[in-house]
Amino acid sequence: MNLKDTIRTIPDYPKPGIMFRDVTTLLGQPRAFRRAVDELVQPYAGTRIDKVAGIEARGFILGGAAAHQLSAGFIPLRKKGKLPHKTITESYQLEYGVDEMEMHEDAVQPGERVLLTDDLIATGGTAEAAIKLLRRAGAEIVAAAFVIDLPELGGADRIRAMNCEVQALMAFEGH
């Protein structure tokens, strides 16, 4: 099975010229979902991973499954105002404005080893904010793992420039 074949491409979404890579079709196929999670965690088998952090929303699905496979805890990284307890916040730049990401202030302990997960890396702004947030809390980021990389947008290189390993199961050219 070629995992890339399980990704649906939606042209001109959310705006003209964008080729949206929809990972929900992969998630809906049991064998593809299982294989994707297995391939995301395989490089870290036998490595101490204390927590897996998932970026809202598809990163929750992948991160929860990865945490289960690695016998690790899970940290939800959410949009501002979605978590009920005391939080720490990191702002980041969007194409047209600024957004904020939060996590509970007690979600990670200093020195814990964390694997960051999300479905896709494009420009890297969200992943960069997640890494900054986790590091501010004292986490050691083992790697950032994604199903899809859009290399033309430079996000993976941006994360590597933060001294963070990046893994992606596949790459798509274009936006």
* Catalytic site positions: 58, 95
**CA–CA separation, 127 vs 125, rounded Å?**
6
The secondary structure element, H or E, covering residue 166 is strand 166-171
Alpha carbon 39 to its chain centroid, in Å, reads: 14
Alpha carbon 35 to its chain centroid, in Å, reads: 17
For residues 159 and 128, is the Cβ–Cβ distance under 8 A? yes
Q: What is the strand order of the sheet 113-121 is part of? A: 87-94, 97-104, 73-79, 51-55, 113-121, 140-149, 166-171
Residue with tokens 């809202």: 56
